[in-house]
Structure 1
Amino acid sequence: MSTPAADGFRMPPEWARHERTWMAWPGPNFTFGEEGGGTLAAARRAWAAVARAVRRFEPVTVVAGPGQAEGARALLGADIDLVERPLNDAWMRDIGPTFLTDGRGHLAAADWVFNGWGAQEWARWDLDEKLAEQVCRLSGARRYATGLVNEGGGIHVDGEGTVLLTETVQLDPGRNPGRTQADVEAEIHAHLGTTKAIWLPRGLTADYGQFGTRGHVDIVAAFARPGTVLVHTQPDPGHPDHAIGAETAKLLRASTDARGRRLEVVEVPAPTVVEEDGELVDYSYINHYLCNDGVVLCGFDDPRDEEAAAIFRRLFPGRTVTLVDARTIFAAGGGIHCITQQQPMA
């Protein structure tokens, strides 16, 4: 059986040009509550704000549940494409496909197994596990199915052979019981076209809560360009993420990428807010989204929002940085990167 890598496909870096962005529309479920409730209404407003921010730079397609497109249109506006397909949840980064290109004008996608972030007891995924295949059809991408349980938020690539992973995600017994690190790497490389994996030991503390992903990398570290990686750091030494950020930065500074370069680490301080309603939060600017000529950056109405924006403006001088309030999205278990998925130009 052929693999994407064997057929010449690879996952481009997020800063490569996009054809469009895919998103999913929040519907009634355990995370957002019932139709007509305030939590679901707030989530829809937050998702719409991100979709409109991305639409300034590139086309956007939003997948809504059956019968929900008309309501979504009222919040999204006329210039965002809408399609209706059955959904359980709204995290397109994780339930959608990971798009690939071959440099010869062809589009493909890796369709990972999705099982509710490690078969978490509250999660339902009977519909979401089929969505990547449907998005492949809608986009015209050649689909490569894999038996590896993985989510798009659990990987980050530099486009030159390197991928970031987290031990508590791909090696999670709830996701891939019995698979070794070597097994996972082989499957990842075969489907992303990468050749070197850098493993982080764990994610942020709050990401192991009820609606957490058990350590997605895209809230901890992300490539900004080949050889340069952004890392979430917590300045407060009393916060449990202080040690995690320091460990992550140290590990990455000691690492080389697939081309043998020693990595440059850019530390991005966490927002000052560490709790909401007595619960620890994992607010992070790392969970941003790069779109054509733009950076859509998580905002938290926090004194460090502008400090983070300045870091991103320096790193991406040709892009417009847009802050979008992400607190409602984080309350549901993720951020801006988690609800978007790029389709690269083939």
Structure 2
Amino acid sequence: MSKFFMPAETEAHERIFMAFPTSGYTLGDTEEEAEAARNTWSQVAKAIATFTPVTMVVDPSAHADARRHLGDAVDYLIHELDDAWMRDIGPTFVRTAENTLAAVNWNFNGWGAQSWASWEKDQLIAGHLVQYTAVPEIRANITNEGGGIHVDGEGTILATRSVQLDPERNPGATATQIEEEFSRVLGTSKVIWLDRGLTRDNEEFGTRGHVDIVACFAAPGVVLYHDQQNPEHPDFLISQEVRERLEESTDAKGRKLKLIAVPAPQVLRDEEGWVDYSYINHLVTNGGVIACAFDDPNDEQAARILAEAYLGREVISVDARELFARGGGIHCITQQLPRR
């Protein structure tokens, strides 16, 4: 039996960690694009701070910009950064058998050593946050990211074969080996494997298929999934595959899953191609749900579905188009520290 277990994201949080955008494609080519990124990250942080304290990791070069946008809304932690996707570069916090906290360092390598990614600084962030939170570090024997998993807190985990079995992350690894490592560091006993993520996320500048824009647990036995309803979009077939896989699956306690479809936004394309806009990529924290919005006709319906799925929590929607234009969403830029 594992000495560790990862609590559900719906449990109480002590704080949320984020990273402020600093350089490269995240800021874009112009000052206007850079301000759009800074503003969107900041709007997410301010929404979270309504419910939970936020610690923003900031590169020294971006400290003035962060202060200009955020003032005293967050706490600041100064460390050099390559990028700003805290879900992936930060550690995954777990509980011990004594109910204290520990942190899993997933050996971040730029989403499978992608040619466009830099991770010399980001691969150190998990270790920095281990020191900051003063918890023991668990060094994983695999390479993974926080966006590549989602747990129910009762032994079940969602994952995608395209990420954990990626030869640039874990060369030669088998599904059984990945399952054993999940069990060791997260305390899970049942992996529900999806084959792949959304279309755009599997293209050149994606993660090769993170699960956190595809499906997530709203509660044990209850899964929200991305439902692309327009057959013109290639994710229409992926949504069907995901639904069928979930329908035939049971969780760690042997329960059939209750599935809640969350319709994709109606927009299908942007100037780069098929969008991967997804309402699944939200953050649940204490009394709130920080949800993605896209100035889309389906924004209000998605917010209602999330409010019903997370009864008693206030849903705050933040325009996430600038996040998705850079490769992710609200869940991707946040990482929760469970309450001690």
Conservation of the 8 A alpha-carbon contact between 2:269 and 2:275: yes
Q: Which residue of 2 aligns with 1:240?
A: 234
Q: Which residue of 2 aligns with 1:133?
A: 127
Match of 1:25 among 20, 23, 28: 20
Superposed CA deviations along residues 276-302 of structure 1, whole A, max 9, x for unmatched, are 115211000000000110000000000
Aligned to 2:180, which of 171, 177, 186?
Answer: 186
Task: Give yes or no for the alignment of 1:257 onto 2:251.
Answer: yes
Higher deviation after alignment, 148-157 or 275-284 = 275-284
CA shift digits 1:105-143 (9 cap, x unpaired): 511110001111111101110111111000111111211
Measure, in 1, the Cα distance between the counterparts of 2:273 and 2:71. Answer: 34
The 3 A distance-change label for structure 1 pair 85 and 305 is same
Q: SS state of the match for residue 24, structure 2?
A: coil
Equivalent residue for 1:345?
A: 339
**1:231-265 deviation line (CA, Å, top 9, x unaligned):** 10111112111111011011101100000000111
Identity rate, percent? 52
Mapped partners of 2:249, 2:2: distance in 1? 27
Letter in 2 for 1:73: R
Cα distance, 1:31 vs structure 2:
3.6
Residue by residue over 1:180-238, the C-alpha shift from the partner in whole angstroms, topping out at 9 and shown as x without a partner, is: 11111111111111111010011000112232111000000000000000010111112
What SS does structure 2 have at the residue aligned with 1:307?
helix
Q: Give the match's secondary structure for 2:142.
A: strand
Q: Distance in 2 between the 1:300 and 1:33 partners?
A: 20
SS in 2 for 1:86: coil
CA contact under 8 A between 1:67 and 1:84: conserved in structure 2?
no
**What is residue 299 of structure 1 aligned with on the other side?**
293
Q: Hey, what does 1:165 align to over in structure 2? A: 159
**5+ long unaligned stretches in structure 1:** none
Q: Residue by residue, what CA displacement relative to the aligned partner does 1:154-194 show, whole Å, maximum 9, x if unpaired?
A: 00000000000101000011111111111111111111111
Q: Distance in 2 between matches of 1:256 and 1:97?
A: 28
Contact 2:26 2:37 in 1 (8 A): no
The aligned residue for residue 142 of structure 2 is 148
Q: What amino acid maps onto 1:76 in structure 2?
A: L
Work out the CA distance in 2 between the residues paired with 1:45 and 1:129: 25
Q: SS at the partner of 2:240?
A: helix
Which residue of the partner structure matches residue 10 of structure 2?
A: 15
Partner residue of 1:202 out of 173, 196, 206: 196
**Aligned equivalent of 2:328:** 334
Q: Please say if residues 274 and 280 of structure 1, whose CA atoms lie closer than 8 Å, have aligned partners that are also in contact.
A: yes
Measured in 2, the distance between the counterparts of 1:294 and 1:104 equals: 28
Residue 177 of structure 2 aligns with an amino acid whose one-letter code is D
Partner residue in 1 for 2:169: 175
Alignment check: 8 A CA contact 2:2 2:183 kept:
no
Which of 37, 48, 51 aligns to 1:54? It is 48
Amino acid in structure 2 at the alignment position of 1:231:
Y
Q: TM-score, normalised by structure 2?
A: 0.97
CA contact (8 A) 1:69 1:83 kept: no
- The answer to whether the 8 A contact 2:25-2:326 is kept is no
Q: Distance in 2 between matches of 1:341 and 1:115?
A: 18
- Is the counterpart of residue 314 in structure 1 residue 308 in structure 2? yes
Question: How far apart in 1 are the matches of 2:272 and 2:245?
Answer: 31
TM-score relative to the length of structure 1: 0.96
The count of aligned residue pairs is 340
The one-letter amino acid of 1:244's match is I
Give 1:26's aligned amino acid.
P
SS at match of 1:189: helix
Aligned counterparts of 1:51 and 1:274: Cα–Cα separation in 2: 28
SS in 2 for 1:46: helix
Aligned partners of 1:312 and 1:326: how far apart in 2? 16
Distance across 2 between alignment mates of 1:236 and 1:242: 6
